[in-house]
């Protein structure tokens, strides 16, 4: 068992015809073989070293770990929110969209997935920024101020353990963890990028000093251990 098992999974998901089939397969894997795979690999130093090369604390307040990259540019990712061991004091919690579609399964905890639309007359004022990928994956972005827009909330759904959903790249959303234990995690299949641009929407002006932060191996170990406890106990 090694990292290539995750590559096999992500390539298998890419070969499927539609989002419904991908969600079904991702959910089955999430609460079946994935738990066994990650528990075993957690004990292998080479695996943890590979993860630490690309894992980072995202400005939106979660640990983002890439488990594998598919041959078509897709990815299998693990997202972890844990306010007991991760510092989110500078998190900006933007509403945003993506350059890619994605499928997501909640491994543990819960969060609100809030959907918005731009409205010319009603809603809450936000600072809009375009984010263009033009360099290294985690840090190579050019941010451009696009002015002020109104965002109107159109949906506010609580996603709990075993919930799964598909989200289109251009859908504006904000994720707000609300689990009382402080631990929430999702397994994500990221489609190949359809664009090199996404948009950020912030209630306050963008603080450009807040950036993604690389994390060390120990933090990755603690984070994986925390979700394994939640998944097994749940």
Q: Which of 70-79, 111-120, 122-131, 223-232 has the lowest mean pLDDT?
A: 223-232
Could you tell me which residues are beta bridge partners of residue 214? 56
Tally of domains in the chain? 1
Percent residues over pLDDT 70 in the chain: 91
113 versus 234: which is more confidently predicted? 113
**pLDDT given at position 138:** 47
234 versus 88: which is more confidently predicted? 88
pLDDT digits over 133-175, tens only?
Answer: 765 554 557 888 999 999 999 999 999 999 999 999 999 999 9
Q: What average pLDDT does range 111-117 have in this prediction?
A: 95
For residue 110, pLDDT over 70 is answered with yes
174 versus 86: which is more confidently predicted? 174
Residue 71: band (very low, low, confident or very high) from pLDDT cuts 50, 70, 90: very high
Domain housing 66: 4-233
Residue 229: band (very low, low, confident or very high) from pLDDT cuts 50, 70, 90: confident
**pLDDT given at position 147:** 95
For residue 63, pLDDT over 70 is answered with yes
182 versus 215: which is more confidently predicted? 215
Q: Which of 142-146, 195-199, 205-209 has the lowest mean pLDDT?
A: 205-209
**pLDDT given at position 20:** 96
The CATH number of whichever domain residue 50 belongs to comes to 2.60.120.10
Residues 6 or more apart in contact with residue 189 via CB below 8 angstroms: 10, 13, 22, 26, 74, 75, 76, 77, 102, 103, 104
pLDDT digits over 25-42, tens only?
Answer: 999 999 999 988 898 888
Mean pLDDT across the chain:
88
Q: Taking CA 66 as the corner, what is the angle to CA 139 and CA 142, rounded to the nearest 5 degrees?
A: 20
Task: Give the span between the Cα atoms of 161 and 83, in whole angstroms.
Answer: 18
44 versus 141: which is more confidently predicted? 44
């Amino acid at each position: 068992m090694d990292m290539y098992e995750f590559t096999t999974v992500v390539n298998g998901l890419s070969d499927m015809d539609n989002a419904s089939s991908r969600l079904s397969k991702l959910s089955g894997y999430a609460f079946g073989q994935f738990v066994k795979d990650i528990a075993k690999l957690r004990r292998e130093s080479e695996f943890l070293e590979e993860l630490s090369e690309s894992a980072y604390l995202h400005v939106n307040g979660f640990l983002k770990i890439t488990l594998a990259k598919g041959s078509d540019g897709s990815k299998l990712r693990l997202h972890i929110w844990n306010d007991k061991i991760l510092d989110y004091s500078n998190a900006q919690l933007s509403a945003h969209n993506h350059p890619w579609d994605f499928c997501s399964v909640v491994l543990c905890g819960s969060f609100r997935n809030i959907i918005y639309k731009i409205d010319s007359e009603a809603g809450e004022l936000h600072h809009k920024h375009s984010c263009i990928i033009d360099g290294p994956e985690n840090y190579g972005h050019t941010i451009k101020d696009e002015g002020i827009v109104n965002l109107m909330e159109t949906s506010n759904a609580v996603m709990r353990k075993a919930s799964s959903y598909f989200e289109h790249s251009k859908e504006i959303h904000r994720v707000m963890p609300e689990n009382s234990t402080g631990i929430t995690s999702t397994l994500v299949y990221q489609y190949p990028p359809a664009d090199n641009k996404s948009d950020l929407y912030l209630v306050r002006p963008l603080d450009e000093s807040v950036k993604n932060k690389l994390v060390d191996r120990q933090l990755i170990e603690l984070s994986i251990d925390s979700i394994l406890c939640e998944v097994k106990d749940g």
